[in-house]
Structure 1
Amino acid sequence: MTILDKIVAHKKIEVAARKEILTVADLQSRPLFDKEPVSAKSWIGSPTKSGIIAEFKRQSPSKGLINGTAKVSDVAEGYFKAGASAMSVLTDQEFFGGTVDDLLAARSVSPVPIIRKDFIVDEYQIIEAKSIGADFILLIASCLTPAESKKYAAVARNLGMQVLLEVHNEEELNAHVDPCMDLIGVNNRNLKTFEVSIETSKALADKIPNEFVKVSESGISNIENIKELKTYGYKGFLIGENFMKTENPAKAAIDFIGQL
């Protein structure tokens, strides 16, 4: 069983437990459920913005503890001031140390589009994402069947949210891509070996239809990476550990984006 298999198995148990505590009706009654989502596609795809999706992540299965002291509201405010085009907030607690409260805290101080970064395995999580102020969600092709990813994308679209589909290879892209999705992210990290290479993004660049905003994820640690990937049509760049591994993630983002 891979780490991804373990995460998905645990996530299904976790979601079933949450359903017992909060019903869909409870989620729909939250004030943020009626908030109009900000367009991630517009912000990330705009030539006048940085394209940086700055992430808040405390830990990961591959790296262990990354940052156990940073306050999410401070980081979120700093990312916005730095010029990030969007923010990614991990809400998985078991493996990444995040919670839905982290996204709520980020939402309270930042106007940029915020993605709920989690392992979506149930429609309930999408409704929950809307109820905590997320503007778009992540659908990971490796965790879902093509039918599931397309179904969940339609649910998000009906709620006014956008979708970032994450793929690792051409097979996943061809099987999962759908008109209800808005951004296609290529994860440069092999989820089986955890090796990282931006060559993955380069190889898939011309396979992604032009109507989707192209996003490169993982392994982006310098300005040269971004400049090179832009020549392949990428407009979005998900950066997490590069900022979070520092003592002051907000300052790291300001310094990095300032160079762009």
Structure 2
Amino acid sequence: MKDILAEIVAYKRTVVATAKQQRPVQALENEPLFNRAGLSLVDFLKQPQKSGIIAEYKRRSPSKGVINDHSPVEEVTQAYANAGASGLSILTDDHFFGGSPEDLTQARALVEVPILRKDFIVDEYQVLEAKAIGADVILLIAECLTKEEVQRLSTTAHNLGLEVLLEMHTEAQLQKVSDYVNMVGINNRDLVTFRVDIDRSIALAAQLPAGKVKVAESGIDNIDTIITLRNAGFSGFLMGEHFMKQKDPGAAFLDFVNALAQKKAR
């Protein structure tokens, strides 16, 4: 996966260079959504009436291939929001994941929950772009950024009113957490072996600075796992493939949320 990640990052840098020529920063700043007041995913994750789940819209991935090429983004994201999602995660990378910035903008017009722009952000331009397309949160991946890059990108996001989710998997990446990282995502899946280890994620989360909201990512497909992670201090649970691989992702999400609520009520 590290080779795939390096390939994605290298490709992304060429895409950003082209985008800067085709759509300069001033054009982004002139977009109607650029001055929109953002929604706080941190606040939404703390609302007890919601599920704590950040439901993801993803068509495909480099490792799994096509996951869902038939469910429209408008239909799925609206169903997720109506069923109690605390937030949405939308892939905006086309080349590797089949997404687009337009997917996020289309969802933004329909829902009033925070939206995470899930992409491989390596340049401040992409942060500005996230603001222009209607995102409330950006994802930064510790594996492909230096501590200084995380600091710079998270500061840019903060100045634009965006929240930051920093994704990590190893203890060595803890030192990359900056003041303007609002949430830390612990990827339960090893990006090299693809092995999922919830216990390792819980141990890593315990070492995070106080006050950082903890989000569990990857490999979550049952209610008991969410309850275990919640008891370990996690507030958010990023889930996508589990729902997207169903014929009707929105209905699958609703069933899952209802079952989770019933389990919590016992």
TM-score, scaled relative to structure 2:
0.95
Gap runs ≥5 in structure 1? none
Indicate conservation of the 8 Å contact 1:27/1:128, yes or no.
Answer: yes
Tell me how far apart the structure 2 counterparts of residues 148 and 116 of structure 1 sit (CA, whole Å): 18
Q: Distance in 2 between matches of 1:200 and 1:105?
A: 37
* Aligned: 1:157 with 2:134: no
1:138-181 superposed Cα distances (whole Å, 9 cap, x missing partner): 000001000000110000000011000001111101x2111111
The RMSD of aligned alpha carbons is 1.0
Where does residue 198 of structure 1 map in the other structure?
198
- 2:60 aligns to what? 59
Question: 1:156-195 maps to which residues of 2 (within 5 A)?
Answer: 156-173=157-174, 175-195=175-195
Unaligned residue ranges in structure 2 (runs of 5+): 261-266
Q: How far, CA to CA, are the matches of 1:172 and 1:87 in structure 2? A: 25
| Alpha-carbon distance, 1:210 to partner | 2.5
State how 1:78-157 maps to structure 2 within 5 Å.
78-157=79-158
Paired residue type of 1:81: N
The offset of 1:228, in angstroms, is: 0.5
Confirm or deny that 1:209 pairs with 2:212. no
- Give distance in 1, aligned partners of 2:197 and 2:221: 11
SS at match of 1:184: strand
For residue 205 of structure 1, report the CA deviation from its aligned partner: 2.1
Deviations 1:116-143 (A, max 9, x none): 0000000000000000000010000001
The 4+ residue runs of structure 1 with deviation greater than 4 A are: none
Amino acid at match of 1:35: R
2:41 maps to which residue? 40
Is it true that 1:225 corresponds to 2:208 in the alignment?
no
Answer yes or no: is the 8 Å Cα contact 1:119–1:138 preserved in 2. Answer: yes
CA distance in 1, matches of 2:20, 2:44: 33
**Conservation of the 8 A alpha-carbon contact between 1:186 and 1:200:** no
Asked whether the 8 Å contact 1:220–1:239 carries over to 2, the reply is yes
Q: Secondary structure at the match of 1:166?
A: strand
Q: What is the TM-score with the length of structure 1 in the denominator?
A: 0.98
